[in-house]
Amino acid sequence: MSQTQNPRVHGVDHRRSVWVAGLLGFAIMAAVDQIVFHQILAWHHFYDRGTSDIALLSDGLLHSAELIMLVAGIFLIADLSRRQALGMASAWGGFCLGAGTFQLFDGIVNHKVLRLHQIRYDVESILPYDLAWNLFGAALLIIGVIITWRAGQRVRQAREHSL
């Protein structure tokens, strides 16, 4: 593979840094949702359309999936770091992309399309909660896109200068 096709420049693997950190961002945002909204505030469970036993089981399954993603992400980040291939800017961009993806997927697909749960119950209007939830996710995605794009530009410029 020629250097112009190689995503690694000066040891940094931009694409892999984005994807691995994206996995971590997704998992950490799922953990925040689980801990803050499911457990501390008790506003909802992952699946609120059944019994309380089913709701707790669904939370446990979500927590299990999130922990598997966290452990996998930590090992993958550690491997990139050990090989000195971790691009920090690329990773931060990926982290924001993953966190924003979780937030928007949860807010749009789980809350509105599948109606597995709502952010909060027993309030006069859910609209402010939906707006805050989804705007926060969109902001994370936009920040992630900007950081990732800029990091990719730096990698491409470094590649051109090293030829």
Mean pLDDT on 22-26: 98
Q: What are phi and psi of 115, to 5 degrees?
A: 55, 40
Angle at 73 between CA 99 and CA 103, to 5 degrees: 15
Q: How confident is the model at residue 157 (pLDDT cuts 50, 70, 90)?
A: confident
**pLDDT for the residue numbered 3:** 39
Angle subtended by helix axes 14-32 and 127-162, to nearest 10: 160
